[in-house]
Chains A and B, each alone.
Chain A
Amino acid sequence: MSHAHIDVRYVAKLARLDLTEAEVAVFQSQLEAILGHVESLFAIDLPGDIDAADTRLGPMRDDQPHPSLPPEAVLLNAPDQAQSQIRVPKVVADA
């Protein structure tokens, strides 16, 4: 696999970022350099007994209701709100 194939504009779209042309140009070369370094991982001879790092969570707390933030605290930072709810643009396309 070669890092030369990174399509910065396409990956940015997946990440919901609307890059400018100038950003695409700068990030393309920077990300290629970073991926070039990262690809040194491909050359490591991994021992057969190694598994991916153990990043399991500890015990989960009991699945019981407990106090959470009141609605007015949650709405405190909402960019737009109406009727005690967060207002967003229409999410369903016209038929």
Chain B
Amino acid sequence: MSLVTLRRRYLDGETTPSEAIAKLAEEIASRDPRTGAYLSHDLDLALKSAAGADLSKPLGGLPIGIKDNINTLAQPCSCGSNFLAKKYTSPYDATVIRKLKEAGAIPFGRMNMDEFAMGSATENSAFQLTRNPHDHDRIPGGSSGGSAAAVADGTAFAALGSDTGGSIRQPASHCGVVGLKPTYGRVSRFGLVAFASSLDQIGPLTRTVDDAALILQAIAGHDPQDSTTLDAPVPDYSAQIDLGVKGVRIGIAQEYFGEGIHPGVRENVESRIRQLEGLGAVIVPISLPHTEHAVATYYVIAPAEASSNLSRFDGIRYGNRAPNPADIIDLYHQSRELGFGPEVKRRIILGTYVLSSGYYDAYYTRAQKVRALITRDFKHAFEAVDVILSPVAPTPARKIGACTDDPLQDYLADIFTIPANLAGIPGMSVPCGTTSFDGADNLPVGLQILAPHLGEAMMLRVAKAAEGLSLP
């Protein structure tokens, strides 16, 4: 059931927030031991909020799962890391949580994730694997894998995730749900535990495009607590969502349909594009020539920012503190060594290296210049088109454990999602049928919709049109 439907049922008196949340808890108890999407959920607290829910508000009484890197007052926020496990309780609400609560929503559940959002499979959580509800031997994608899997599994109506290089869109694609990464600066990052501050954005994972619009409406806007938020009016995202695609110019970049794409993914995405053309969209070939450099650029900039951001985890103010250190420096070393998992250490070392004396210009400054080229590619493209369509990921969900010793292989699979983060533009994943892959049938495929800065309304409109189609 979608949020929109659940809200209508509340307003029609068919059910209440307390009943819906109690039912959700039953679904979690029944299915989540297998799926592993939730790290925890506080039913008593949610039922207390449900009892006082104001149904006149846009999200009145609607439960929403929260990725475990978004601070929610009096709840844990482990970021999937042993560094913070059982040692940190949020002393404040992130701005997105404050806004959700003001809109009447009830944050319910802490969703599993790759440690500090570093990963594409949710295999880097320190606590548990999350399994893809469509095939329990496969990854749900990541890093917002818990959020996506719960929505797909029917154990959450909707959830918040965060997207630094595809961490909302790719798990949405692998789990067959809707995922939306807003324009950089559209949604406040205050209270999101920072991974790479120039790339991170919070966004919704939902069952429908209308639900994604509903949540975006509630969380978007300028925030004095985050100086990177944009002081631009927030449009009514539902107002034009049903206008269809007649006359909409859809860009297709050859760089997003090259070698390495699974034939079933290509077929589904190309078929959906032809269907949109049949509804009156105008297909325009475009070029994004620097796409091939996006992953290399990202793996300089994101680790560099992460190595700086994660220096705050030093064992002094919160989180893991090593017992019996020899001195303060030893305390830092031991606390971090014991608290962080391998992927986090790998990226901290990589980031420290590219920022170190003698290497900074060669790696970091150069990567920032290539980032500017990638941004320029999109700027040129959006002079001729309204949106760009592509696959979200080159293949459907892989098997759990298939890339453990070779992190570069997982990094390269983010080729279609990373450019949007580098350029700061919004992107969405919308379900686009299923295909067979690596011995499994019926694995979800995602269609990616990219739009120019602050182009969320048009992106949602195209997403809504695509959502209503079924493949021939």
On A, residues with C-beta under 8 Å from B are: 1, 6, 8, 11-12, 14-19, 23, 26-27, 30-31, 33-35, 37-42, 44, 46-47, 50-55, 57-61, 69, 73-74, 76-80, 86, 88-91, 93
In the docked arrangement, what's the CA distance between A80 and B327, Å? 15
In the assembled complex, 18 residue pairs joining A and B whose CB atoms fall closer than 8 Å, in A order, are: A15-B349, A17-B336, A18-B334, A23-B345, A31-B349, A31-B353, A34-B350, A37-B295, A38-B354, A39-B296, A41-B293, A41-B363, A46-B369, A58-B228, A79-B316, A79-B318, A86-B316, A86-B317
B328 touches A33 (CB 8 A): no
Contact of A79 among B293, B321, B340, B354 (CB under 8 A): B321
Classify chain B: how many residues form its interface, as a range. 35 or more
Query: For window 372-406 of chain B, which residues contact chain A by CB distance below 8 Å?
Result: 372-373, 375-376, 406
- Which of B39-47, B87-95, B158-166, B249-257 interfaces with chain A? B87-95
Check A51/B345 contact, CB under 8 A, given A37-B296, A42-B366. no
Question: Please, how many angstroms separate the alpha-carbon atoms of A88 and B91 in the complex?
Answer: 21
- Nearest-neighbour CB distance to chain B for A68, whole angstroms, equals 10
Most buried by B among A15, A19, A27, A86: A15
Partner of A11, one of B87, B88, B353: B353
Give, as a whole number of angstroms, the nearest-CB distance from A39 to chain B.
8
Residues B230 and A58 in contact, CB atoms below 8 Å apart:
yes
Looking at the complex, which one of B229, B293, B351 makes contact with A44 (CB distance below 8 Å)? B293
Whether B297 contacts A78 by the Cβ 8 Å rule is no
Task: Take A77-B319, A88-B328 as given contacts and tell me if A40 and B227 are in contact as well, using a CB distance cutoff of 8 Å.
Answer: no
CB of B227 within 8 A of CB of A79, answer no
Would A30 and B408 count as touching, CB distance under 8 A? yes
- In the bound complex, do residue A77 and residue B89 qualify as a contact, i.e. CB atoms below 8 Å apart? yes
| Contact assessment for B372 and A52 in the assembled complex, using a CB-CB cutoff below 8 Å | yes
A54-B224 contact given A37-B299, A38-B300, CB 8 Å threshold:
no
Residues of A within 8 A of B295 (CB): 37
Expressed in whole angstroms, the minimum distance between the Cβ of B226 and any Cβ of chain A is: 9
Chain A CB within 10 Å, residue with most, of B87, B185, B293, B422: B293
Q: A41 contacts B296, CB within 8 Å?
A: yes
Verify A78–B349 contact, CB threshold 8 A.
no
- A11-B353, A17-B345, A55-B198 known; A88 vs B331 contact (CB < 8 Å): yes
| B332 surroundings in chain A (CB, below 8 A) | 16
With contacts A34-B408, A37-B408, A59-B227 known, what are 20 further pairs, Cβ within 8 A? A1-B359, A6-B353, A11-B356, A14-B356, A15-B351, A16-B329, A16-B332, A17-B333, A18-B334, A27-B342, A27-B349, A30-B406, A30-B407, A33-B406, A34-B350, A44-B373, A73-B91, A78-B318, A79-B315, A79-B319
Partner of A58, one of B229, B311, B318, B359: B229
Least Cβ–Cβ distance between A1 and chain B, in angstroms: 6
